[in-house]
Amino acid sequence: MAVDRQKKFSIGNWKMNTDLADALVLSQGVRDGVEGINGVEIILCPPFVWLYPIAETLKHTPKNLSLGAQNMHWQEKGPFTGEVSPMMLQKVVKYVILGHSERRFHFNESDELINDKVQSAFEHGLIPVLCIGERSKTNSGSDEMINQLVRDLNEVSEQNMSNLIVAYEPVWAIGTGDAATAEYAGDVAKKIRRKITELYNEKVAENLPILYGGSVVKSNIAEYMDEPDIDGALVGGASLKINDFVEISKEIGRYR
Ligand code: PEP
């Protein structure tokens, strides 16, 4: 395990979309489209129920394509009706999205809970894609986002920091078409790196992949990738279209 910035990241968050047939067509279409692209880790995050069938059909897939979950419980097993545990996921996925704003705000996930999940992901050999972001566009100081970062990483060891990806996703930009400007996202990514330097050290901060997410499409991805502190994208809507997600991933691969 361990991630670094030598590789870039293109992550597709399908959210609660697709039926089984769509999921298989989409995952196989992306697999075929990204074959031969180097220097970018492409990660598909379908709904839980499609993970296993997709994993089966992608068995002999190119090394640059992996699976991730959109969420998980922090405990291994027990009386938690409707939940999915890290132990169940660890055989099927390499990554897990944690702290997505839709979980924070529709399901009241607190930073303490997200921190438990982050720690549990490390314990189970999963790489968390930790999402942070402010709700209001006028809160450009992003204190809310920095507070999330600090609390979600509570007591995360320096060693585990090399198994983490951070995705900066301003809530106002998610699914709205109102993407943050690349300059704004780049400045926030720099701010995150500065905070990580303060919490850990420069080496940890320099090694940490920081992604941007929020209305990324194939026509704006290059602008984000031009920002030196942005190492890829977490893509929602556009990851449901084979051609768009393949094009986004190819563009990200040009920046390795
Ligand atoms: C997301 O779901 O994390 C996301 C960024 O969505 P979208 O690309 O649709 O804004």
Could you tell me how far CA 162 lies from the centroid of its own chain? Answer: 15
Residues, the chain, total?
Answer: 256
- The letter for the amino acid at 60 is H
The answer to whether 124 is a known catalytic residue is no
pLDDT tens for the chain, 256 residues: list them: 789 898 999 999 999 999 999 999 999 999 999 998 989 999 999 999 999 999 999 887 777 899 999 999 999 999 999 999 999 999 999 999 999 999 999 999 999 999 999 999 999 999 999 999 999 887 654 789 999 999 999 999 999 999 999 999 999 999 999 999 999 999 999 999 999 999 999 999 999 999 999 999 999 999 999 999 999 999 999 999 999 999 999 999 998 7
Considering only the top CATH level, what class is 10-253? alpha beta
Distance in angstroms (rounded) separating the CA atoms of residues 246 and 220:
14
Q: Where are the beta strands (DSSP E) in 160-199?
A: 165-168
- Give the C-alpha distances (Å, rounded to integers) separating 77 from 49, 88, 101, 109, 226: 18, 9, 25, 19, 43
Distance 230 CA to ligand 1 centre (A): 16
Distance in angstroms (rounded) separating the CA atoms of residues 109 and 15:
17
The answer to whether 169 is a known catalytic residue is yes
Asked if residue 121 lies in contact with residue 161, where contact means CB atoms within 8 angstroms, the answer is no
Residue 96's CB is within 10 A of a number of other CB atoms, namely 26
pLDDT at 256 (0 to 100) = 74
pLDDT at 60 (0 to 100) = 75
Could you tell me how far CA 154 lies from the centroid of its own chain? Answer: 19
Give which of 123, 122, 98 is closest to 234, Cα–Cα: 98
**Buried residues in 150-159 as b, exposed as e (16+ CB within 10 A):** bebbeebeee
pLDDT at 101 (0 to 100) = 96
pLDDT at 140 (0 to 100) = 58
pLDDT at 139 (0 to 100) = 65
Distance in angstroms (rounded) separating the CA atoms of residues 148 and 131:
9
Query: Looking at ligand 1, which atom is closest to the CA of residue 97?
Result: 3
Single pTM value for the model: 0.97
What is the domain partition of the chain in residue ranges?
10-253
Question: Coil, helix or strand for 202?
Answer: helix
Distance in angstroms (rounded) separating the CA atoms of residues 227 and 255:
10
- Out of 41, 73, 100, 134, pick the active-site residue: 100
- Out of 102, 169, 227, 251, pick the active-site residue: 169
Distance in angstroms (rounded) separating the CA atoms of residues 18 and 212:
24
Give the residue whose CA is nearest to atom 3 of ligand 1.
Answer: 236
Distance in angstroms (rounded) separating the CA atoms of residues 240 and 95:
19
Give the residue whose CA is nearest to atom 2 of ligand 1.
Answer: 236
pLDDT at 62 (0 to 100) = 72
Of 130, 215, 217, the residue with max ligand 1 atoms within 8 A of its CB, to mutate for a pocket test, comes to: 215
178-189 pLDDT tens trace? 999 999 999 999
Distance 120 CA to ligand 1 centre (A): 25
Sign of CA dihedral 5, 72, 13, 224: negative
- Give the C-alpha distances (Å, rounded to integers) separating 175 from 33, 57, 155, 178: 24, 29, 32, 8
